[in-house]
Amino acid sequence: DKRVNTITKTLFKKYKTATGFTKLNEEDIKSVTFFNNKAKNIREAARILVEKHKGKVPETMEELIALPGIGRKTANAILINAFDKVAGVVVDTHVLRVSYRLGLTKNTNPEKVEKDLMAAVPKEKWKRITWLLKDHGRAVCRAPVPYCSRCVLNKICPKQGVMKSL
């Protein structure tokens, strides 16, 4: 996350449009994992944006996940952050881990976890639950060993899958 946030500042200065991103150079993202594959997906997604969407980012889940390199997690993040549209819950590694440990899901597949969270949490809370679980996962319910003694949910948490805590 931190690495991506760092390089995107530079990328958006260099490539200002979807057409610009069709010419993305691998060197610009070399510091992220799987940079060759990501660069290929960015160029292809940008080409599709130019050809099918007049250079604009689409505003539906279906159109977003049709783009190379875009799954539900990224599509949900785009919809929420760019368009303030909530179609689901953004399930990253932190959300997945905390949801599982709290017993909100028995699943470890991100799409199944998303469905479980959508069933357990009222739709008007989907946007907020993402940030709450993500922040909690980064600060307290960390991998591999959580700080259960510091957790406000310690007394009610089933600690599903937790072996040892600090």
Is 92 catalytic? The answer is yes
Closest to 91 in 3D by CA, of 77, 106, 103: 77
Q: Catalytic one among 92, 115, 125, 159?
A: 92
Residues 6+ apart with CB under 8 A from 143: 93, 97, 137
CA 82 to chain centre: 14
- List helix spans (H) across 58-141: 61-65, 72-83, 93-101, 110-120, 126-139
Is 73 catalytic? The answer is yes
Cβ atoms of 64 and 75 within 8 Å: the answer is yes
CA distance 74 to 1: 12
Enumerate the active-site residues: 73, 92
